[in-house]
Amino acid sequence: MYARVLEAVDRFGDIRPEGRSFLVLHSLVDDGHAASLFELAARFARDAEGREALARGMRGALDLRASFWAQMHIAAKNG
C-alpha cells in the first residue's frame, strides 16, 4: 500500500525528503510488518485478557493511522 502512495506523492506532490521518510520506510517493510502483526495478534488472542489488550492496541493504532492520513489529506489539499 505505501509503495503506491509513495509513487503518487513523487508523481504529483512536492514533498521534501524528510516529509516522505515515513512512506519510504513503510514501503520497504510493509509486507513483513503485516506478517509480524498477525503472528503477534494470534498470541494475544488466546485468552480474554489478551483479546482485550489486542483490541485496545488496535484501536490506538487505528486512531493514529486515521490521524496520519487525515493530516496527509489536509496537506495534499493545501499544497
pLDDT value for 45: 94
pLDDT in tens, 59-77: 999 999 899 889 888 887 8
Q: Report whether 6 contacts 27 (CB < 8 A).
A: yes
The pLDDT assigned to 24 comes to 84
pLDDT in tens, 18-41: 878 888 887 888 778 888 989 999
Read off the pTM: 0.65
For the chain, how are helix, strand and coil distributed in percent, rounded to 5?
A: 85, 0, 15
Q: How large is the average pLDDT for residues 3-7?
A: 81
